[in-house]
Each structure stands twice: as C-alpha cells, then as structure tokens.
Amino acid sequence: EIVMTQSPATLSVSPGDGVTLSCRTSQTVGSNLAWYQQTSGQAPRLLIYDASTRATGIPARFSGSGSGTEFTLTISGLQSADFAVYYCQQYDSWPLTFGGGTKVEIK
C-alpha cells in the first residue's frame, strides 16, 4: 500500500496570503495524484487531478505541481472559502490511498 504523507498538519494563515501544501508518497505514482478540499461538514471537492490539472470550475488561484513522489498544492490569495482541510490521493495503484490532510486555518 502506498503511504501518503502530507505536511504540515496545520497551517495558520491570514486571508490574502499564499500557501504551499506538500504531499509525499512512499512509492512513485507518476502524475496520478489528486487534491481535494473539504470544508467543515461537507463532502470533499475535487480541486486538482493528474497532479496539475484543475477540475472544472476551480479558480486559477489553486495550482498543483510535482510528479513521482513529491507533490505540492499552492493556493494564492487565500479567500474565506479556502479555509478548509486539503487531502491528496493517489490513484496509481490499488488500494487507492489518501493523505492525512492539511488543515488551513485562519491566523
């Protein structure tokens, strides 16, 4: 099973700031990585797939990069709706696995 490690666990930032979230996989997954956003009490929402492709309707302030075992999600100009938990997920091999999440909270 591929282990997904996200860091940091929590980021405290101010609205308007930019942040970079990290996701590391225990084995290479190529570009088969997705990022999801989950706000409190809601279902996860797909942000990024294939490591760097924004899903439909996702603003350009969200960007993904990386391949192999190291990936990042960058959010520029944080808005109130962006304070949430972010998960990465690999779909390169079964079982599909998720990272433990990074919580982006208001400072």
Positions in the binding site for other proteins (CB under 8 A): 32, 34, 36, 42-46, 49, 55, 87, 89, 91-92, 94-96, 98-101
CA distance 22 to 74: 9
User: What's the closest the beta carbon of residue 3 comes to other proteins, in angstroms?
Assistant: 12
User: Shortest approach of other proteins to residue 101 CB, angstroms?
Assistant: 5
24: its two tokens = 């590391």
Q: How far apart are CA 101 and CA 23, in angstroms?
A: 9
Q: Round to whole Å and give the CA distance between 92 and 23.
A: 15
Q: Which residues pair with 23 in a beta bridge?
A: 6, 71
Looking at the Cβ atoms of 36 and 83, the one nearer to other proteins is: 36
Q: Which of residues 17 and 67 has its CB atom nearest to other proteins in the complex?
A: 67
Decide whether 3 or 18 has the Cβ nearer to other proteins. Answer: 3
Shortest distance (Å) from residue 15 CB to other proteins: 25
Bridge partners, 87 (sequence order): 36
